[in-house]
Amino acid sequence: MTDQTPVQIHRQMQRRKQFTGFPFYLKLALLMLFIAVPFLFPAFKSVDLALNVIIFSVLVASFDLLLGYTGILSFGHVMFFGIGAYSVAMLTGKYGDATYANLGLGFMIAIGITLLVALLISFLSLRVKAIFFAMVTLAIAEFAIIFATKASEFTGGEDGILISTFGVFKRSFSLGEFLGRDINGKMITYYFILAICVVLFLLMMRFIESPLGRVMQAIRDNEPRAEAIGYKTFVFKMISICFGCLIATILGALYVMWTGYANPESVLGTPIMVDVLLMVIIGGMGTLYGGIAGAAFVLIAYTFLPDLQKIAASLFPGIPFLHALMERWHLILGILFILVVLFFPKGIVGSIREYVTRRKVTKVAGAN
């Protein structure tokens, strides 16, 4: 038997440890938690929060695919999210009846547009320095927002498009009772979205572990070297961008299925981009699970911030400046963002992984 390459040995070890050990059970527990949320916390606010966490964690993971695994910073990610949302909204709300066929068509058209735009953008801006990609995507994303707002005949302008749920996803549709909760259309939508998100996440993980994913990490670590070894970095970067943006589009389409409306501010706006960046940095660049950690952290913080303000107000009643500061929680998040980038660049999951690896190394070294 021929000698195995180090990569093959590494992959074999990984495959053996895949389904055992603490991390696997943690991931399984997380999945169980998401499945159980509609039964454990049936209030709409909690289910909504859980769904936002699910969608945003996959969105952040797809952004991390570009940023942490290929080293490309793209400000246009939310634009693709918006393209998916608008396509489905337009086909099932504005220009067609709400049917399954139109839903499927909406997905297809969204994917088509995304591929076109992603190919165009990457073709134009990857030929120059990587920083140009960030600037170009920022400009094009801003233009997309303006287009969505100004071309109100076509896209519904600032008010956006409302869609009504239909078929199995209709709110009034009911499958009967199960474990004491009514299985209505909303729950079915929740599980549908959860299932697709899990599939997308597993797809991304498979993508990372594949040889293609390894080349991408090589490009991130040392692009001139990857090019010198013989990989056409341009093609690989283009593939990675298209893949990441495709996932963002599908997520946008799913998001609009849940919320029922799509307007420039809720699916295309800059605040969402800032949120995604924040989640990526806090969760950890270069780790897919960082997406889940970052999304959970930021979204839960947003939900409990009003309560924090009340606590701050009651603790420090006479200092209005502090009130002003707490109200401007974007300021606090911005400062947190800078601090995390400076001192904590690996984020939550990254630091945990590094800590665990370091302990393993010291254990081995200590044993010697």
Residue by residue, DSSP assigns 200-242 as: HHHHHHHHHHSHHHHHHHHHHH-HHHHHHHT--HHHHHHHHHH
Q: Which of the stretches 178-186, 222-230, 269-277, 308-316 binds other proteins when contact is defined by CB under 8 A?
A: 269-277
Minimum separation from the CB atom of position 39 to other proteins (A)? 38
Decide: is 225 part of the binding site for other proteins (CB under 8 A).
no
Q: Could you say which of 47, 89, 111, 140 contacts other proteins (CB under 8 A)?
A: 140
Q: Could you say which of 26, 28, 146, 356 contacts other proteins (CB under 8 A)?
A: 146
DSSP state, residue 168: G
User: CB–CB of 72/216 below 8 Å?
Assistant: no
Instruction: State in Å, rounded, how far the first CA of the chain is from the last one.
Output: 32
Task: For other proteins, give the closer residue by CB, 73 or 212.
Answer: 73
Decide: is 335 part of the binding site for other proteins (CB under 8 A).
yes
Task: For other proteins, give the closer residue by CB, 67 or 251.
Answer: 67
Print the binding letters for residues 38-77 with other proteins: x by CB under 8 A, - otherwise.
-----------------------------x---x-x----
CB burial of residue 303 (10 Å; 0-12, 13-18, 19+): middle
Q: Could you say which of 142, 223, 227, 265 contacts other proteins (CB under 8 A)?
A: 142
Minimum separation from the CB atom of position 319 to other proteins (A)? 14
The region, left, alpha or beta by phi > 0 then psi within -120 to 50, assigned to residue 284 is left
Q: Could you say which of 138, 183, 239, 305 contacts other proteins (CB under 8 A)?
A: 138
Task: For other proteins, give the closer residue by CB, 127 or 359.
Answer: 127
SS3 of 136, please?
helix
Compute the CA torsion angle 297, 161, 153, 247 (nearest 10 deg).
50
Q: Could you say which of 270, 303, 309, 351 contacts other proteins (CB under 8 A)?
A: 270
- What is the Cα–Cα distance from 266 to 269, expressed in whole angstroms? 6
Nearest to 61 by CA among 255, 246, 337, 285: 285
- What is the Cα–Cα distance from 277 to 76, expressed in whole angstroms? 12
Decide: is 153 part of the binding site for other proteins (CB under 8 A).
no
Q: Cα 43 vs. chain centroid, distance in angstroms?
A: 24
Q: Which residues contact 50 (CB under 8 A, 6 or more apart)?
A: 34, 37, 41, 190
Which value, in Å, is the radius of gyration of the alpha carbons in the chain? 22
Decide: is 238 part of the binding site for other proteins (CB under 8 A).
no
DSSP state, residue 286: T
Task: For other proteins, give the closer residue by CB, 68 or 185.
Answer: 68
174 phi and psi angles, rounded to 5 deg: -140, 135
Q: Which of the stretches 3-11, 43-51, 142-150, 235-243 binds other proteins when contact is defined by CB under 8 A?
A: 142-150
Decide: is 154 part of the binding site for other proteins (CB under 8 A).
no
DSSP state, residue 3: P
Q: Could you say which of 40, 331, 356, 361 contacts other proteins (CB under 8 A)?
A: 331
Task: For other proteins, give the closer residue by CB, 22 or 321.
Answer: 321
Task: For other proteins, give the closer residue by CB, 98 or 341.
Answer: 341
Residue ranges that bind other proteins, judged by CB under 8 A:
67, 71, 73, 124-125, 127-132, 134-136, 138-140, 142-143, 146-147, 150-151, 270, 274, 277, 281, 324-325, 328, 330-331, 333-335, 337-338, 341-342, 345
